[in-house]
Amino acid sequence: MVKIIEESISQKKKAGQVTFEGDKVSISLNYSLCTNCGLCINNCPHKVLIWQDRTFKGNNKIDIVQISDLSKCSACGRCQEICKLRAIVIK
């Protein structure tokens, strides 16, 4: 099973945005902009981005983009470049 969020990563939630902070890189995912197209997941060479299903009101499940292991991220920027809506920001 994939470890979704490492202990060294802190999440900051604000206005639909979650920031995953690691030692060398931070990735912000803005869920209010994300359309779940999957381009970021398909273009990540290190498989840092994955699908995770979430259950919402009424037992409706949708897949959302999530970070699997931030320590694998090389900060190449492919996910940020491919996202036309700028829902991902790498720092």
CB 56, CB 68: distance < 8 Å: no
Residue 31 amino acid letter: Y
> pLDDT, tens digit, for every residue of 44-67?
999 999 998 776 667 777 788 889
Q: Looking at per-residue confidence, does 8 or 11 come out higher?
A: 11
pLDDT of residue 63: 80
State residue 88's pLDDT score: 95
User: To which H or E segment does residue 14 belong?
Assistant: strand 10-14
**Burial (CB count <10 Å: 0-12, 13-18, 19+), residue 73:** buried
